[in-house]
Amino acid sequence: MDVLTDPFSAGIMQRALLEILILGAVGGALGCWIVLAELSYGAESLAHGMFPGLVIAALAGIPLLLGGAIGIVVAALAVALAGRIPGIGRDNAVAVVVTTLFGLGVLLALSPDVPPGIQGLLFGDILGTSKRDLIAGAALAAALLVALRLMHWRLLAVGFDRTSARSLGASPLLADAVLLVLMAGAVLVAVQGLGNLLVVAVLVAPAAAARLLCRRLLPMMAAAVAIAVVAGIAGLYLSYYAKVAAGASVAGLMVAAYLLARLGALAANVTART
């Protein structure tokens, strides 16, 4: 039993465990909508676009959630303005703006005057999660999950048939806007623990794995949360005993869970055909 309990005897590991539970709940539940709506690239773009806001927040000593939120708003406005330039197009505007903002954030993070630890924003520092981070993350996560519950049937109606959804009183435009806001909030929650480059792992990999295992949405969401939490806890164990980076371990095992689900689905298809 010591093998199971020793890693969590320290306060930093206990806080990391709580952070994993928060990330798993938000990433698994909202990740299903991100995967089904094919917004995985959008989630990655939001994460990269908000990076300068995270760096500036860390330099100014303000909460990362606030800096990230400001960064997302600036990125969204920049994409909207760039998309209005004739001949650029929306996809090109996203690529240009996000790449520019991410490069700016990297320059700020790697400048010689920044305090130690700023570079950790790229890959996260889940073991450095503070009580303030947990409280802020838990509050935002709870708000996101409540909003998702309230909007569930509207999102489901729009996702099933956008035309028929209007007759049921569900506005496709409102549903799209809410989903984007929820996705932005999920990115904010996840970036505290996994950093800018690994945040998509918790939002996409568990949900993509669950999609291969489940045919209905609610079981898919439950499976995604379970996969995210189990992979996250396993990542903490791997980090503790193998002495490797915790964020990378968590993200890597979430991706490994997707690969296992993919292999299982392929094996099931082969068996069914034979």
Q: Is the dihedral of CA 18, 19, 20, 26 positive or negative?
A: positive
What's the pLDDT score for residue 221? 95
What six digits make up the tokens of 179? 């989903």
For residue 50, give both structure tokens: 């908000």
pLDDT at 139: 92
Q: Which residues contact 152 (CB under 8 A, 6 or more apart)?
A: none
The pTM score is 0.86
Identify the CA nearest to 108 among candidates 54, 44, 69, 70. Answer: 54
* Mean pLDDT of successive 10-residue stretches along the chain, which has 274 residues: 80 92 93 88 83 84 83 80 71 81 85 68 80 88 93 82 73 81 86 81 94 92 96 94 89 94 87 75
Eight-state DSSP code of residue 115: P
Query: Which pLDDT belongs to residue 17?
Result: 94
Q: DSSP letter string over the chain?
A: -HHHHGGGSSHHHHHHHHHHHHHHHHHHHHHHHHHHTT-HHHHHHHHHHTHHHHHHHHHHT--HHHHHHHHHHHHHHHHHHHHTSTTT-HHHHHHHHHHHHHHHHHHHHHSTTSPTTTTHHHH--GGG--HHHHHHHHHHHHHHHHHHHHTHHHHHHHHH-HHHHHHTT--HHHHHHHHHHHHHHHHHHHHHHHHHHHHHHHHHHHHHHHHHH-SSHHHHHHHHHHHHHHHHHHHHHHHHHHT--HHHHHHHHHHHHHHHHHHHHHHHHHHHH-
Would you say the C-alpha torsion 71, 72, 73, 76 has a positive or negative sign? positive
Q: Give the other-Cβ count within 10 Å of 236's Cβ.
A: 22
pLDDT at 142: 94
Q: What is the pLDDT of residue 44?
A: 82
Helix axes 217-242, 11-36, angle to 10 degrees: 140
Architecture per CATH, domain 2-262, reads as: Orthogonal Bundle (1.10)
248 phi and psi angles, rounded to 5 deg: -65, -35
DSSP states along 18-81 = HHHHHHHHHHHHHHHHHHHTT-HHHHHHHHHHTHHHHHHHHHHT--HHHHHHHHHHHHHHHHHH
CA atoms of 196 and 213, how far apart (whole Å) = 28
- Specify the amino acid at residue 87: G
pLDDT at position 32 is 93
The angle formed by the CA atoms of residues 216, 176 and 48, to the nearest 5 degrees, is 100
Q: What is residue 1's DSSP assignment?
A: -
